[in-house]
Amino acid sequence: MGAHGMLQIGEVADRIGLSLRTIRYYEEVGLAVPSARSDGGFRLYTEDDVERLRVIMQMKPLGFSLEEMRELLTALADGGPAERLAHYREAAAERVVALRAQLATAEAFAGRLRT
Could you read off the pLDDT of 49-82 as tens digits, one per residue?
999 999 999 999 999 999 999 999 998 888 878 8
Domains along the sequence of the chain with CATH: 3-114 (1.10.1660.10)
pLDDT at 57: 95
The pTM (predicted TM-score) of the whole model is: 0.84
Q: How confident is the model at residue 84 (pLDDT cuts 50, 70, 90)?
A: confident
Q: Is 70 within 8 Å of 64 (Cβ atoms)?
A: no
pLDDT at 103: 97
Angle among Cα 74, 80, 82 to the nearest 5 degrees reads 140
12-23: b (≥16 Cβ within 10 Å) or e: bbeeeebeeebb
As a whole number of angstroms, the distance between CA 75 and CA 5 comes to 27
44 has a pLDDT exceeding 60: yes
**What dihedral do alpha carbons 95, 47, 70, 101 form, nearest 10°?**
-10
Q: Is 13 within 8 Å of 23 (Cβ atoms)?
A: yes
